Amino acid sequence: MPELTIGHLAERSGVATSTIRFYESRGLVHSRRTTGNQRRYEQSELRRVAFIRAAQRVGLTLDEVAEALATLPDGRTPTKADWHRLSRAWRPRLDEQIRRIELLRERLDGCIGCGCLSLRSCALYNPGDEAAEHGTGAVRLEP
C-alpha cells in the first residue's frame, strides 16, 4: 500500500482531514491527485505531519515549520539524516521550556509560602511597595 488517502493519513497521524487540507494549502504537506481529483499521499508525508505536530509542541509556528521543512531536499524523500538535522535543533528549546516551567514552579513554591504572587516585590517583604520607587517592573513574573 504505497499511498494514503487523506482519510487514512488523518487517521494515522491523528489530525483531522480539514487540518491536513489546511496544511497542504500552506505548503506543509504535498499530495498527488488521482484522475478523480482526490489526494494521494506518500508514506513519507506521515512523517511530515508528525514533524509538524512535534514542532508545534516545541513552540514553533506553522511559518517556522514551513521554513524548517523548506530546508529539506526537494526531489528526493528526506532521509533520517534530514529529519535528524531538523529536529536536533529542538533539544535546546525543550530544555529551555523545561527550565522556564521549573522556574515558575519554584517561584510559585516560594510565593505560596508567603501567599502572594507579587514575587520580587512581595508585600510581606516589601510592605511600602518599595519596588515602585525604582520603577523596575515590580510585579512582573518574568524579568
Residue ranges that bind DNA, judged by CB under 7 A: 5-8, 10, 15-19, 21-22, 31, 34-39, 56, 61-63
Closest alpha carbon to 8 in 36, 49, 37: 49
**Residue 37 beta carbon to a second copy: minimum distance, rounded to whole angstroms:** 25
Give 85's contacts (C-beta < 8 A, 6+ positions apart).
Answer: 71
- Which residues inside 74-133 make contact with a second copy, applying CB under 8 A? 79-84, 87-88, 90-91, 94-95, 97-98, 101-102, 104-105, 108-109, 111-112, 114-119, 124, 129, 131-132
Pick 37 or 118: Cβ nearer a second copy: 118
30-39 contacts at long range (C-beta below 8 A, 24 or more positions apart): 31/6, 32/3, 38/5, 38/6, 39/5, 39/6
CA 96-102-108 angle, 5° bins: 140
Pick 38 or 79: Cβ nearer a second copy: 79
Q: Which three cell numbers stand for residue 134?
A: 525604582
Cell numbers 512523517 correspond to 47
Give 135's contacts (C-beta < 8 A, 6+ positions apart).
Answer: none
For residue 6, the tally of other CB atoms under 10 A from its CB is 19
- Which residues inside 23-82 make contact with a second copy, applying CB under 8 A? 43, 46-47, 49-51, 53-54, 57-58, 79-82
| Residue 129 touches which member of a second copy, DNA, none, C-beta under 5-8 Å by kind | a second copy
Question: Which residues contact a second copy (rule: CB under 8 A)?
Answer: 1, 11-14, 43, 46-47, 49-51, 53-54, 57-58, 79-84, 87-88, 90-91, 94-95, 97-98, 101-102, 104-105, 108-109, 111-112, 114-119, 124, 129, 131-132, 135, 137-142
